[in-house]
Amino acid sequence: QLRVVAASPPRVRTQSLHGPSPVTTFGPKACMLKNPKAVMHIQDPASQRLTWNKPPKSVLIIKKIRDTSLLQPFKELCIFLTQQKNMIVYVERKVIEDPAIANESFVSIKKNICTFREDYDDISNCVDFIICLGGDGTLLYASSLFQESVPPVMAFHLGSLGFLTPFNFDTFQSQVTQVIEGNAAIILRSRLEVKVVKEYRENGSVEEMTILFSVNNISFCQVLNEVVVDRGPSSYLSNVDLFLDGHLITTVQGDGVIVSTPTGSTAYAVAAGATMIHPNVPAIMITPICPHSLSFRPIVVPAGVELKIMLSRDARNTAWVSLDGRKRQEIAYGDSITITTSCFPVPSICFRDPVNDWFESLAQCLHWNVRKKQSHLSSEEEEF
């Protein structure tokens, strides 16, 4: 029997500029293999290895909905996990109710699968690790399901871009077996903890509310890529004040502003002109969207700061906020968005290691620094 999500008590913000030390336990059984030589809270990326306190027994499969090309991989994976590995498999109910699956020979598989409903059932203590089938969106969705400790995530590249999905499905059996045996590198992808405070205009009272979840009035939500505040449908410039640790640092006048994690620096932020940050770097990136200023460049701030975004008093229109591209909501004068680095990262399983995987994604997905090579000079040309 799955239980309903319980409210989380407010957490005291760290005063360290380096941000909170991330938790190193992921789900009920996984944890970071301790490095006795490490002297800092943030380990060398090459030393981040997965280990298990107890052998994993359950897995959550995230599958892209209504994608017929994923039916066969999904079926093969379910059979492998249930019949060969004796794992308990969790799948979202709407995946099983997909008409494409109903028409396939999934009858024997369905009886071995546990289902859950988003925003209703809590599986945080039931899942040992996660397997994503699809594109980068499946990893973002997996992150949204776990508002505190996240089980390790193994993402297979079966979508379009695949920047965050390093595994090919061709050899899934050996790769999944290595993860079950605890033989894998991981990268801790930091998330942003976001709180929205909305002001009621009828009686002047203030209500804290969640954007992603509204179960038991939870007021904190976790974001893996970015928080985007924009002008929405209005033709006017957005006009929002940006505070850092309680001090007004600037007013954003333009189409909006992106506050992103290092993981999100290669998403919307890079399209808006930001630099790309390796996920192991403890930082928060602030990127304006089409600012009406020639000097407003993207900036990187320490992971430990607290950012607050509010509509400026001189704003001609409201603003809109979205988190990882989901659950857009209007922000009016008096409302505020508070953003800090979360202590609950997403432990993403690497194909090789955190450094090589990242540069491989830059080259393969974004074609970073791809150009024709300059030819060398011949001995005759060198004389001139």
For the CA atoms of 188, 192, 193, 198, what is the dihedral angle to 10 degrees?
-160
Which of 9-18, 159-168, 206-215, 341-350 is least confident?
Answer: 206-215
309 has a pLDDT exceeding 80: yes
The distance in angstroms from the start CA to the end CA of the chain is 81
Report the pLDDT value the prediction gives residue 204, as an integer from 0 to 100. 46
Other beta carbons within 10 angstroms of residue 23's beta carbon come to: 17
Residue 131: DSSP 8-state: E
CATH number, span 58-190+345-366: 3.40.50.10330
- Across the beta sheet with 25-26, what order do the strands follow? 25-26, 30-32, 50-52
Residue 2 identity (one-letter amino acid): L
Give 368's contacts (C-beta < 8 A, 6+ positions apart): 276, 362
Give the pLDDT of residue 45: 66
| Predicted confidence (pLDDT) per residue in 251-275, tens digit | 999 999 999 999 999 999 999 999 9
Architecture of domain 192-199+213-341: Sandwich (2.60)
DSSP state of 167: B
Q: What is the pLDDT of residue 120?
A: 79
Per-residue confidence at 3, pLDDT binned at 50, 70, 90? very low
Mean pLDDT, range 188-204, rounded to an integer: 80
Q: Which of 128, 136, 230, 357 is catalytic?
A: 136
CA distances 255 to 73, 186, 338, 374, Å, are 41, 36, 20, 40
Instruction: Give the pLDDT band (50/70/90) at residue 137.
Output: very high
The predicted pLDDT at position 110 comes to: 77
Measured distance CA(64)–CA(80) in Å, rounded: 19
- Decide if 136 is catalytic: yes
Q: CATH 3.40.50.10330 spans which residues of the chain? A: 58-190+345-366
Instruction: CATH 2.60.200.30 in the chain: give the residue spans.
Output: 192-199+213-341
The angle formed by the CA atoms of residues 344, 350 and 355, to the nearest 5 degrees, is 95
Name the residue with tokens 């997996």. Answer: 142
CB atoms within 10 A of CB 323: 25
Q: Which two tokens stand for residue 320?
A: 């809109």
Give the tens place of pLDDT for each residue, 362-383: 999 999 999 888 888 877 766 6
Instruction: Record the pTM.
Output: 0.85
Pairing mode, strands 88-92 and 58-63: parallel
